[in-house]
Copies of this chain bind each other. A is one copy, B any other.
Amino acid sequence: FVNGKFCKDPKLANAEDFFYSGLNIPRNTSNPVGSTVTPVNVAQILGLNTLGISIVRIDYAPYGGLNPPHTHPRATEILVVLEGTLYVGFVTSNTDNRLITKVLNPGDVFVFPVGLIHFQFNIGNTKAVAFAGLSSQNPGVITIANAVFGSNPPINPDVLTKAFQLDKNIVTYLQSKFWWDNN
């Protein structure tokens, strides 16, 4: 066991421990955010343990498919667009909170630095597809809206009312909603 994962004796490791299949398959994006992330990390490829890298495929529905604002607590992401047109961005940390954005077309590459809030939004009329590398075998993902308004149990609404400058009834309404997890 290393990092809480079972580690094979290297003499017994075989090709299956370093292999995953199916990233060519388009995924269904008929969900509330219009996107689906297909992760390939240490949970899918045992041999990635301790090696510090993983990848994902992301499918976006035509106009409006959104990989909503989220962070990876343990990884920088480098994304390359295969199909479609994405408006992407990240926000720098306090006190500037600068938004850095770019419209990406096929073959374009963009970097989202570790821990920063970022998103991708399909602004084209066709579906979009991207691959992304992440600098951890277990990058983690925190979808901001889900963590803030969809936690289990809910955060005290007084906290969110004050933090987000929202009416308390809007906060409790948001907390009653279903928050789709696209991962």
Contacts and interface: CB of A to CB of B under 8 A. Distances in A.
A165 B174 contact: yes
Contact of A108 (B2, B20, B94, B113): B20
A169 B152 CA distance: 28
A133 B53 contact: yes
A15 B102 contact: yes
Given A47-B111, A73-B116, A91-B147, A64 B18 contact: no
Given A73-B71, A109-B21, A155-B89, A94 B163 contact: no
Contacts of A75: 53
A94 to B, nearest CB: 5
A95 B183 contact: yes
Contact of A156 (B94, B108, B121): B121
Interface string A96-119: 111111100011111111111101
Interface residues on A, range: 35 or more
A21 B107 contact: yes
A116 B159 CA distance: 16
A158 to B, nearest CB: 7
Contacts of A112: 18
Contact of A94 (B54, B91, B183): B183
Contacts of A95: 181, 183
Interface in A1-15: 1-4, 7, 10-11, 13-15
Interface string A60-97: 00001010110111111110111000010101111111
Nearest to A140: B93
Nearest to A23: B107
Given A73-B115, A142-B93, A48 B164 contact: no
